[in-house]
């Protein structure tokens, strides 16, 4: 099994990918929950525009998304410059930029998943909670949120899996710097570009398959658990 | 308690324009399905905001469109028992029960919890999930949950409609206890005469979103407006009576109504307690001579007051029996065979088991 031993550089790529995917997933969660709630429940002018905007990364070529991020969040981009000057947050050519790219790419998947579960919530239960004295915030926290938890978890795992595989937007936005922005996917790509890199590409591919399968199985377990819990009464 | 409701609301082509007041402990909103009674109770609860109207409970203005007052649902403290129990599927029965208690302030917690659980007979269900309960059990838990939120008014929207006859019979006694033991006024929506006859003090008959009649249950339920709103098969007479004695050996209760002693399946109320019996016209037989060797326990002597004109194959005969008016539904053929006419003396025969609601 010698050929399966990962080199330090490869381990770095794996660790970086896990970190980028985790940060991307967690940081996009609050915003995705808000967007899903607004899209599922809100009634306002321009809702279809918001819906389109949220789903944009799903239909745009990833390279275009990466390029737009570069324009907006790059060092001279309007948002990037503002954040760098006022908060010292820099995205371009940093792992944080990779996380941002992954978060943006996974966002529509997470929103969709959460929104579907919000649509499935029996609003009569929320009415019942209100008649028992719960104000809107409490209704959300004690009834809606627990009932959509399966959708939230599924959305998180989808976003995580998407981040693990993200390539186009990341490489366009933050390039392919070993130890900083070289994720699993970019590392595999790099291996395939050099003579004799097949073995390395194969090793990382196996790691990638294992992580993806693990995430998928985890989501199945959560889904089964949630289905058992939320049989409607 | 005094409840004052006034509401005008349009939904598509349907208009609700109703106003009523009630000071009874149980006020029934009675009418066919689609008459607007559920919309009306939702307006009282605050789930539906009417185009205009006002709701006043004990002098406290809950909503008034003219004065732009609208108390949100969660601040009204009106308990609501829905047709489907609407228990929270992600919580145990115990947590479901405790849900509203928490918002009401847990000051009188433990003893009240125990009393409600005991009254509804749900102590053995506390650690179960709602999905594992039967329909009747769910509905009892839903009643308990509403009660434990310490409501000022309890709204019930056909709480028994989704249940079969056996489950209804299981829950009705609990609702009677609820009415008699708690001092919480109840607004009860139903299209079932049997339920309303047993539970309600005041009846508001709703038809096409409007109030057709309102007043004391015994009076209203024998009026044409109410008869029109009820299922034809359910038409009958309402007897006001007092529990005389119990025959526990045979699981029977004797109720005195006027000069009649009516034997009914056991009622769990003490002697001296007043009860109301609904006797469906189709459960009453007539005989011109006193029947002998018959299993029916209730045979009352009376005189025919009047007969309804021919409709379908059957007619309704009103019989005066010891201070009560009993309605009997017989065929036109029997009327002719027995030569029934106003003033003729007859015996009304009612099977005790038919009185088991």
pLDDT at residue number B223 = 65
For chain B, give the secondary structure using H, E and C.
Answer: CCEEEEEEEEECCEEEEEEEEECCCEEEEECCCCCCHHHHHHHHHCCCCCCEEEEEECCEEEEECCCCEECCHHHHCEEEECCCCCCCCCCCHHHHHHHHHHHHCCCCHHHHHHHHHHHHCCHHHCCCCHHHCCHHHHHHHHHHHHHHCCCCEEEEECCCCCCCHHHHHHHHHHHHHHHHHCCCCEEEEECCHHHHHHHCCEEEEEECCEEEEEEEHHHHCCCHHHHHHCCHHHCEEEEEEEEEEEECCCCEEEEEECCEEEEEECCCCCCCCEEEEEEEHHHEEEECCCCCCCCCCEEEEEEEEEECCCECCEEEEEEEECCEEEEEEEEHHHHHHHCCCCCCEEEEEECHHHHCC
The rounded distance, in Å, linking the Cα atoms of A62 and A147 is 33
Contact B87 A132 (CB under 8 A): no
Mean pLDDT of A48-52: 93
pLDDT at residue number A233 = 37
Closest-CA residue of chain A to B85: A233
pLDDT at residue number B314 = 81
pLDDT at residue number B265 = 85
Residue A6 is given by DSSP the state: P
The residue written with tokens 């609501």 in the block is B80
B36 touches chain A (CB under 8 A): no
The rounded distance, in Å, linking the Cα atoms of A130 and B74 is 5
Instruction: Write out pLDDT tens, residues B245-260.
Output: 888 888 888 888 888 8
The rounded distance, in Å, linking the Cα atoms of B62 and B69 is 7
The rounded distance, in Å, linking the Cα atoms of A106 and A112 is 10
Contact A134 B146 (CB under 8 A): no
pLDDT at residue number B219 = 76
Which of A121, A124, A132 should we substitute to test contact with B (largest number of B Cβ atoms within 10 Å)? A132
Residue B345 pairs with which residues in a beta bridge?
A: B303
**pLDDT surpasses 70 at A140:** yes
Mean pLDDT of A138-148: 93
Instruction: Report which of residues A135 and B193 the model is more confident about.
Output: A135
Contact B86 A230 (CB under 8 A): no
* Annotated domain spans of chain B: 3-234, 237-355
pLDDT at residue number A36 = 95
Q: Which two tokens stand for residue B210?
A: 């409007």
B88 touches chain A (CB under 8 A): yes
pLDDT at residue number A34 = 95
Contact B47 A146 (CB under 8 A): no
The rounded distance, in Å, linking the Cα atoms of B179 and B171 is 13
Q: Which residues of A touch B104 (CB under 8 A)?
A: 133
Contact B145 A138 (CB under 8 A): no
Q: Which fold has domain B237-355?
A: OB fold (Dihydrolipoamide Acetyltransferase, E2P) (2.40.50)
**pLDDT surpasses 90 at A125:** yes
Q: Which residues of A touch B80 (CB under 8 A)?
A: 128, 131
Beta-carbon contacts of residue B256 (< 8 Å; ≥ 6 apart): B241, B242, B244, B262
B144 touches chain A (CB under 8 A): no
B147: nearest Cα among B190, B115, B194? B115
- pLDDT < 50 stretches in chain B: none
Contact A233 B80 (CB under 8 A): no
Instruction: Write out pLDDT tens, residues A149-167.
Output: 888 988 999 899 999 989 9
The rounded distance, in Å, linking the Cα atoms of B76 and B327 is 43
pLDDT at residue number B227 = 64
Give A232's pLDDT tier (boundaries 50, 70, 90): very low
pLDDT at residue number B229 = 62
Which of A133, A142, A232 should we substitute to test contact with B (largest number of B Cβ atoms within 10 Å)? A133
- Contact A133/B100 with Cβ under 8 angstroms? yes
- Contact B234/B30 with Cβ under 8 angstroms? no
Closest-CA residue of chain A to B101: A132
Closest CA of chain A from B221, distance in Å = 31
Q: Which fold has domain A8-229?
A: MetI-like fold (1.10.3720)
Superfamily designation of domain B3-234: P-loop containing nucleotide triphosphate hydrolases (3.40.50.300)
Considering only CB atoms, A134 lies closest to which of B76, B89, B103, namely B103
Give A142's pLDDT tier (boundaries 50, 70, 90): very high
Instruction: Write out pLDDT tens, residues A56-108.
Output: 999 999 999 999 999 999 888 888 888 888 888 888 888 999 999 999 999 99
Contact B99 A131 (CB under 8 A): no
Contact A233 B74 (CB under 8 A): no
How many CB contacts within 8 angstroms connect chain A with chain B? 79
Mean pLDDT of A29-53: 93
Lowest mean pLDDT among A31-40, A199-208, B67-76, B167-176: B167-176
B125 touches chain A (CB under 8 A): no
pLDDT at residue number B188 = 92
Q: Which of residues 109-138 of A touch B (CB under 8 A)?
A: 122, 124-125, 127-136, 138
Give A113's pLDDT tier (boundaries 50, 70, 90): very high
Quote the ipTM score: 0.80
**pLDDT surpasses 60 at A109:** yes
Task: Give the HSE-up count for residue B168: Cα atoms under 13 Å, Cβ half-sphere.
Answer: 18
pLDDT at residue number B88 = 93
The rounded distance, in Å, linking the Cα atoms of A233 and B53 is 34
Closest-CA residue of chain B to A135: B74
- Residue A97 to residues A87, A92, A103, A107, B157: CA-CA distances in angstroms? 15, 6, 10, 15, 56
How many C-beta neighbours within 10 Å does residue A70 have? 22
């Amino acid at each position: 099994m010698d050929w399966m031993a990962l080199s330090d550089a490869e381990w770095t790529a794996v660790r970086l990918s896990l970190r980028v995917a985790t940060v991307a997933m967690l940081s996009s969660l609050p915003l995705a929950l808000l967007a899903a709630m607004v899209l599922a429940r809100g009634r306002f002018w321009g809702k279809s525009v918001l819906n389109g905007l949220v789903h944009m990364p799903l239909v745009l070529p990833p390279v275009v998304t990466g390029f737009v991020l570069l324009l907006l969040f790059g060092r001279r981009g309007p948002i990037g410059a503002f954040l760098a000057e006022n908060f010292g947050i820099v995205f371009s050519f940093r792992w944080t930029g990779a996380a941002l790219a992954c978060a943006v790419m996974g966002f529509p998947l997470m929103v969709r998943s959460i929104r579907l579960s919000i649509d499935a919530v029996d609003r009569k239960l929320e009415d019942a909670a209100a008649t028992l004295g719960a104000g809107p915030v409490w209704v959300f926290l004690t009834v809606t949120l627990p009932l959509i938890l399966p959708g939230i978890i599924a959305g998180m795992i989808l976003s995580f899996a998407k981040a693990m595989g993200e390539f186009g937007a990341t490489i366009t936005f933050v390039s392919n710097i070993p130890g900083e922005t070289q994720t699993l996917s970019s590392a595999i790509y790099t291996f395939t570009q050099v003579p004799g890199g097949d073995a390395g590409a194969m090793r990382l591919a196996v790691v990638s398959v294992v992580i993806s399968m693990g995430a998928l199985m985890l989501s199945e377990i959560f889904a089964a658990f949630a289905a058992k819990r939320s049989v409607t009464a | 308690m005094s409840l004052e409701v006034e509401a005008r609301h349009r939904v598509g082509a349907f208009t609700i324009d109703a106003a009523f007041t009630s000071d009874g402990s149980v006020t029934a909103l009675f009418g066919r399905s689609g008459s607007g009674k559920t919309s009306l109770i939702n307006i009282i609860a605050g789930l539906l905001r009417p185009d205009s109207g006002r709701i006043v409970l004990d002098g406290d203005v809950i909503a008034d469109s003219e004065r732009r007052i609208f108390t949100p649902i969660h601040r009204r403290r009106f308990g609501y028992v829905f047709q489907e129990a609407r228990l929270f599927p992600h919580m145990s029965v115990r947590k479901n029960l405790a849900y509203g208690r928490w918002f009401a302030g847990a000051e009188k917690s433990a003893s009240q919890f125990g009393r409600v659980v005991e009254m509804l007979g749900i102590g053995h269900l506390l650690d179960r999930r709602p999905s594992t309960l039967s329909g009747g059990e769910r509905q009892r838990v839903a009643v308990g949950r509403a009660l434990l939120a310490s409501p000022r008014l309890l709204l019930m929207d056909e709480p028994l409609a989704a249940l079969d006859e056996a489950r209804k019979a299981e829950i009705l006694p609990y609702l009677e206890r609820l009415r008699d033991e708690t001092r919480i006024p109840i607004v009860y929506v139903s299209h079932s005469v049997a339920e309303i006859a047993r539970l309600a003090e005041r009846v508001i008959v709703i038809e096409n979103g409007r109030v057709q009649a309102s007043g004391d249950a015994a009076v209203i339920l024998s009026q044409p407006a109410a008869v029109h709103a009820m299922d034809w098969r359910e038409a009958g007479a309402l007897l006001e009576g007092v529990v005389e004695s119990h025959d526990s050996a045979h699981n029977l209760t004797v109720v005195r109504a006027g000069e009649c002693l009516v034997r009914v399946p056991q009622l769990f109320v003490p002697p001296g307690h007043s009860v109301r019996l609904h006797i469906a016209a189709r459960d009453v037989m007539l005989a011109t001579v006193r029947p002998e060797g018959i299993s029916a326990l209730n045979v009352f002597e009376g005189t025919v007051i009047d007969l309804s004109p021919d409709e379908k194959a059957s007619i309704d005969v009103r019989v005066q029996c010891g201070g009560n008016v009993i309605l009997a539904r017989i065929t036109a053929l029997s009327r002719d065979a027995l030569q029934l006419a106003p003033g003729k003396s007859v015996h009304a025969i009612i099977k005790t088991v038919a009185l088991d609601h």
